[in-house]
Structure 1
Amino acid sequence: EGKLNEARMDKLVTLHPVQPRDKVRFGQLEVEFIHVTHSIPDTNAVAVHSPVGTIVDTADFKFDPTPVMGKPTDEQSLRRLGERGVLALFSDTVRVETAGSTPSERVVLETMDATIKEARGMVIIATFASNISRIHMALAAAQKYGRKVAVAGRSMEQNARVAVDLGYLDPPEGLLLPLDEVLKLPKDKRVLVITGSQGEAAAALARIAAAEHPKIRVGKGDVALLSATPIPGNEETVTRTIDNLFRRGAHVVYSALDRGVHVSGHAGRDELRKMLDLLHPRYAVPIHGEFRHMVLYRDLCAEAGIPGERVLLPEIGGVLEFGPDSAAQRGRVPAGNILVDRLGDRAGGHVQLRTRDHLADDGVVVVTIVVDRESGALIAGPDLIARGLRPELQNGALNEAEADLRRQLERRSNGQPQYGHLVQRTKETVGKALYRRSKSRPLILPVVTEM
C-alpha cells in the first residue's frame, strides 16, 4: 500500500486483505491462501482452483519448525490439497543445490543475542529492508540487555512503520525510538538496524563504512553484524564495505566468520521434496531460480516419481497451457526489464518517470574520475563532458559542478573506494549543482576508474 501511495497509483487499485485459509472467487477461479514460513512474515502459498484442476504456487517458502515470528508452515492444508489432487505445482527452487533443510530463523536470534550481549559499544545490524523478523529479533535482544533500538535507511524506516501499524512489531513503550534520540544515548545502549547488507551504494551501511553518513559514525568497540550472505554478483561490494568498517575500528560479524548471522528463507532440497510429497502434483513447474536450478529440480521430481516429460521448464514470458490431462508451452508474451529514470525527493516520496524525449531535452553529462584502488584518494578528474545541455548551463555551470564534486571527493575519508557509493555521490552532487542553475536534470553518467 505504501509503495502504491508513493507511486501515486493507490487510486488505480482496490486492496482486499486476506488471511491464511481464506478463499476468494474470480469468475470460474477460486483462490485459496495457505500459510508458509519465510523470512517475510505471513507469506502465503496460493492454490488456484480451476475447472481443469488445482494449480499451487508455493511462493518463497521453507519448513521452519521454530519460526521467530508467526506459525510453522500449514502442512495440514497442503496435505489436504494433495489428497484432493493437484494438477500442477509451481515451486521455489533457488536452494535445490543445498542438501538437507534450511536452518530455522531461531539460529539467527541466538547469534544476534550473543553479539549484543558481548558488545561493549554500539551494535549495528544490517539486513534486507523487508526482513521484519530481524527487526523483531533485534528488539527482543536489545530489551534483554537494556539497549534501545532505532532503524535507519528509508526503506527500513517505512517497512518498520508499516509493521508496527499492522501489529507485526509490538515493542514496549520506549524501546523503538527515532534515530536522533538513540544517537544521544551512550554507545553501549544503542542498537541500530539498517539497510545495506549487500553493499548497496545508497544504503546506510555503505555510507557508514565510507564515513559519509550524515549522522552515524563507527569506531573502536562498535560491532557491525551483517545479517545476510552476499547475493552472487555482490561479493566485491560487500567485501569492500566490510574492509572499510574494519578500517574505522569496528568489529564486523559476517557469514564467513559465523554462519549463524543469516539463514535463507528458501527451502533446501529435502524441503522441496517434502512439498512434492505433500501435494503429489501431476505436473511440476520450477520457478524462482536459474536454469540450472530448474534442471536440478526436474531431477528431484524424477526421484519423487514425476517423469521428466511432466516437468515444464519455463522461460520469462513463456505461456503455459493446462488441460485436465495435459500441459504444454504455448508461445510467448512481451516480458523483461524496463529501464526508467526516477527523479524526486526521496523523503517526500514524489516520483516522476522521464521519457526519452525529456532526457533529450535536458542533455547528457559524462563524469570521469580516477581514484586510488587502495586508499580511495582522487588521482585525476573529475572531468565533465556534456552534450545537449540547455543554454543557461553553458556558461560556467559545468565548472561549478566540477568544483563541487572535487570538494566532495577530496573531503572523503581514506579507505577502499566503494564504487557504487562514488557513482551515487557523483550523480547527487553534479545533479544538484546543475539543477540550481536551470531547474533541469541532465542524464549523468559517471565513469569511475580505479588504479
Structure 2
Amino acid sequence: MSHPHPELGLPPELPDGALRVVALGGLGEIGRNMSVLEHAGRLLVIDCGVLFPEDHQPGVDLILPDFDYLHGRLDDIEAIVLTHGHEDHIGAVPYLLRLREDIPLVGSQLTLAFVEAKLREHRITPLTLAVREGQVERLGVFECEFVAVNHSIPDALAVAVRTGAGTVLHTGDFKMDQLPLDGRVTDLRAFARLGEAGVDLFMVDSTNAEVPGFVASEREIGPVLDGVFATSERSIVVASFASHVHRVQQVLDAAHTHGRRVALVGRSMVRNMTIAAELGHLHVPDGVLIDVKKVDTVPDDEIVLMCTGSQGEPMAALSRIANRDHKISVGPGDTVILASSLIPGNENAVYRVINGLTRLGARVVHGGNAKVHVSGHASAGELLYCYNILRPRNVMPVHGEARHLVANAALAVRTGVPADHVVVAEDGVVVDLVEGRARVVGAVPCGYVYVDGASVGEIGEVELKDRRILGEEGFVSIFVVVDSATGKVLSEPQIQTRGFAEQDAVFDDIRPQIVAAVEDAARGGSADTYQLQQVVRRIVGRWVSGRLRRRPMIIPVVVEA
C-alpha cells in the first residue's frame, strides 16, 4: 500500500491522457468531503462539505476545505457533483460558489433542493442539473453515470466517472440495507455491470470499515421507538440530524400510533423536512404536525418535539434544553431520545448533554442503552461484497479517519486487490492514474479554513492558540509609564488579571522586579517601548510560571511620558 509522507513535494505536471485525483477534505477526518478529478486540463469536483469544530477550536463555526488548489483554475471546473444532501458533503458549496457563481451543481432532486435552500441564505442563485439513478451525463471531458445507493438520507447517489484514462467509481456515503424504508436499495446490479466493464479506481466509503458484519436495517428502529413511546409518561424530545428524513418519518409514524402530535424545532429541521415532504420523501399523517408555537396548547403526554443537537452542538436545541437556555424545558417523567450515532470527536459534548438532561430528571434513551439508530455507512461485510462484485484494478479509501482508511485498504487486499494498487492517502495528497495504475505522486497545501462569524479564512492556528490560552490560562495586562528622557518608571506598574483564582495582590511581589528590569533595560540602551514591553513580558512570564504554575496571555503596555 502507498502511504503519504510529510516529505512529499509538489506533484509533477500531469502526463497526457492521465487522470489526477486530489482530495481536499474527507481523508483522515469525518467531514469536509471534497475530491477534485483532473483530466485533459479540466476539473470535476465531487462533493464540497464542511467539518464541524471540536473543543480545541473555540469560536469556530465551520471548517471548510482549502480551495487554494483551485485558485487560478476556477474556470476549468466543469461541475460540482454532489452525492447526497448531508452537510459534510454540501455545506461548503456556498463558499466555493462565492469564488465562481456559475459552476453547475449536479445531484439528485432532494440533494439540490437542500443546497438551493442553503444558497438562498447566501443570496446565490445556482446553475443546477438534477439527475437520478441510471442517468448518464457528459460534463465536458467527464462522462458521469449515476447509481442508486442506500444511505441515511434519501436520494443518495454513487457516481461512475469515465475518462480517457479510465473509470473512477466514487460511492459517496453508502450502505447495503436490504429492507430500506423507502425501498431504494444500493444497486449492486449496476455495480456488477460497471465491474464487468472495468473499474480502474474505486473510491469507497471507509467510515465503518473497522466494524465487522453488516449494518442493521433501518426497519429495526421502528419497533424500538414504538416501545419507548408506549412507556413514556409525559413529553418526548427526539434529537436527530436535521437531514435524517427516515428517522423523522419513523418518529411521525410512532407519534401517530400513540396519539401524539409532533412539532419540529429548529430552522434547519423545519426547512429540510418541508422540502422532503414537498418532494414526496416524507409522508406526514394527517393532523400529526403542529407549529412549535402551539406546543403549550397540547398536554405533555400528547406531544413530541423533534429537534437538532444529537451531537452535542453548543447552540443546537438539545444542548440549550439541557442547559435550561431554551423555551422548551424537560423534567421528571419526560423522555429524550438521541436518535443518531456518535461522530468521532463529539463524544464528550454528547455525554455532557446526556448528563445535563439526566440531572433534570429526564429519561435519556441513546445508542448506548437502546437501538435507536443504525449507521448509514457500510460495515466490513458489505465492503467485502462490493470488492468481490467490482474487482477494481485500484482502490483509494475515502471518507474516514486514518484508522478507517487503513482498515478499508486491508479489506481490499484480502479480496485480491494487489497491495501496491491500494492507495491510502490523506488530504492534499495527489494520486495519478496512469496506464491503469494509481500512485501517489506528490502533495499540495491543504489546511483548515475556518469560518468565524462573517470571516472566512481570516483566523488561523495562531489565533486559535490565543483563544485556547485565554480560555484555559487567563490573561495578565501590565501598564507601565516611563520618563522618555531618563527611562525612570514614573509610577507603580498597574496589573490586571482575568481568569485567575488568585487576587491581584499576589502580583505585588513582582512589581519591584518589573520596575528594576525596565530601568536597567533603559539604561542599557533599550529606549524603544516595544523592547521594553518584551522585557516586561519575559519578567512576568517567568514569575507567573514559577510562582503560579500558569502560562497566561501576557499583554504589556509601556507608555512614555
Opposite residue 27 of structure 1, the aligned amino acid is: G
Match of 1:263 in 2: 374
Summarize the Cα distance change of 1:294–1:220 in structure 2 as closer, same or farther, 3 Å threshold: same
Q: Distance in 2 between matches of 1:199 and 1:302?
A: 37
| Counterpart position of 1:32 | 145
> How far is 1:154 from its partner?
2.5
Q: Which amino acid aligns with 1:56?
A: L
Q: What do residues 362-410 of structure 1 show as CA deviations (whole Å, max 9, x unaligned)?
A: xx9x98799xxxxxxxxxx9x998x9xxxxxxxxxxxxxxxxxxxxxxx
> Secondary structure of the equivalent of 2:451?
coil
Q: Is the 8 A contact 1:183 1:190 kept in 2?
A: no
The one-letter amino acid paired with 1:161 is T
Residue from 306, 318, 321 that aligns with 1:208: 321
- Native 8 Å contact 1:65 1:104 kept in 2: yes
Most deviating of 30-39 and 290-299 = 290-299
Q: For 1:47-446, what aligned pairs fall within 5 Å after superposition?
A: 47-213=160-326, 215-258=327-370, 260-343=371-454
1:429 alignment partner in structure 2 = none
- Classify 1:230/1:27 alpha carbon distance in 2 versus 1 (closer, same or farther; 3 Å): closer
1:311 is displaced (CA, Å) by 0.3
Deviations 1:411-451 (A, max 9, x none): xxxxxxxxxxxxxxxxxxxxxxxxxxxxxxxxxxxx9xxxx
Question: Is the contact between residue 450 and residue 457 of structure 2 (CA under 8 Å) also seen in structure 1?
Answer: no
Conserved in 1, the CA contact under 8 Å of 2:262 and 2:288? yes
In 1, are the aligned partners of 2:201 and 2:394 still within 8 Å (CA)?
A: yes
Gaps in structure 1 of 5+ consecutive residues: 344-351, 371-380, 388-446
SS at 1:183's partner residue? helix
Task: Give distance in 2, aligned partners of 1:232 and 1:59.
Answer: 19
Q: Distance in 2 between matches of 1:296 and 1:66?
A: 27
Residue 127 and residue 312 in structure 1: after superposition, are their counterparts in 2 closer, same or farther (change >3 A)? same
Question: Is 1:17 aligned to 2:121, yes or no?
Answer: no
Q: Match of 2:269, as an amino acid?
A: M
Change (3 A) 1:241 1:277: same
* Aligned residue identity for 2:330: V
The structure with the larger Rg is 2
Unpaired segments ≥5 residues, structure 2: 1-115, 480-551, 553-561
Other-structure match for 1:409 = none
- Tell me if the contact between 1:41 and 1:70 (Cα under 8 Å) persists in the aligned partners: no
| Aligned-residue offset at 1:67 | 1.0
Distance 1:263 1:368, change over 3 A: closer
Distance 1:369 1:211 in 2: 25
Partner of 2:156: 43
CA distance in 2, matches of 1:72, 1:130: 19
Displacement after TM superposition at 1:315 (Å): 1.6
Structure 1 match to 2:119: 4
Match of 2:16 in 1: none
Report SS of the residue matched to 1:281. Answer: coil
Is the alpha carbon distance of 1:200 and 1:283 closer, same or farther for their aligned partners in structure 2, counting shifts above 3 Å? Answer: same
- Measured against aligned partners, the alpha-carbon deviations of 1:219-274 in whole angstroms (never above 9, x if no partner) come to 2211001112322322222122111212212111112211x111110111010111
Secondary structure of the residue aligned to 1:170 is: coil
Structure 2 CA distance for aligned equivalents of residues 228 and 136 of structure 1: 14
> Is contact 1:368-1:384 (8 Å) kept?
no
User: Which residue identity does 1:335 align to in structure 2?
Assistant: C
Contact in 2 for aligned 1:367/1:384 (Cα 8 Å): no
Residue 305 (structure 1) shift? 0.7
CA distance in structure 2 between the aligned counterparts of 1:324 and 1:54, rounded to whole angstroms: 12
- Counterpart Cα distance in 2 of 1:332 and 1:14: 31
Number of equivalences: 360
Q: 1:107 to 1:183 in 2, by over 3 A?
A: farther
Distance in 1 (CA, whole Å) between partners of 2:189 and 2:359 is 52
Q: In structure 1, what is the Cα distance between the partners aligned to 2:212 and 2:457?
A: 46
1:355: how far off? 5.3
1:100–1:268 contact (8 Å) kept in structure 2: yes
1:376 corresponds in structure 2 to none
SS in structure 1 of the partner of residue 159 of structure 2: strand
Name the amino acid aligned to 1:320.
V
Amino acid at match of 1:297: N
Distance 2:345 2:179 in 1: 31
Helix, strand or coil: the match of 2:320? Answer: helix
Q: Matched residues in 2 for 1:204 and 1:340: separation?
A: 21
SS in 2 for 1:282: coil
Matches of 1:18 and 1:192, distance apart in 2: 34
Tell me the CA shift for residue 82 of structure 1: 1.0
Q: Give the CA deviation at 1:23.
A: 1.0
Partner of 2:66: none
Deviation at 1:217, TM superposition (A): 1.0
In 1, Cα distance between the equivalents of 2:456 and 2:426?
A: 29
Q: Is the 8 A contact 1:102 1:268 kept in 2?
A: yes
TM-score (normalizing by structure 2): 0.60
State the identity %: 40
- TM-score under structure 1 length normalisation: 0.74
What is the alpha-carbon distance in structure 2 between the residues aligned to residue 41 and residue 49 of structure 1?
25
1:208 shift after superposition: 0.8
Q: Distance in 1 between matches of 2:375 and 2:388?
A: 22
How far apart, in 1, do the equivalents of 2:457 and 2:416 lie?
Answer: 52
Instruction: Measure how far apart 1:149 and its partner are.
Output: 0.9
- State how far apart, in whole Å, the 2-side matches of 1:282 and 1:369 are: 50
What is the aligned-residue RMSD (CA, Å)? 2.7
1:42 touches 1:70 (CA, 8 Å); kept in 2?
Answer: no
The one-letter amino acid of 2:312's match is G
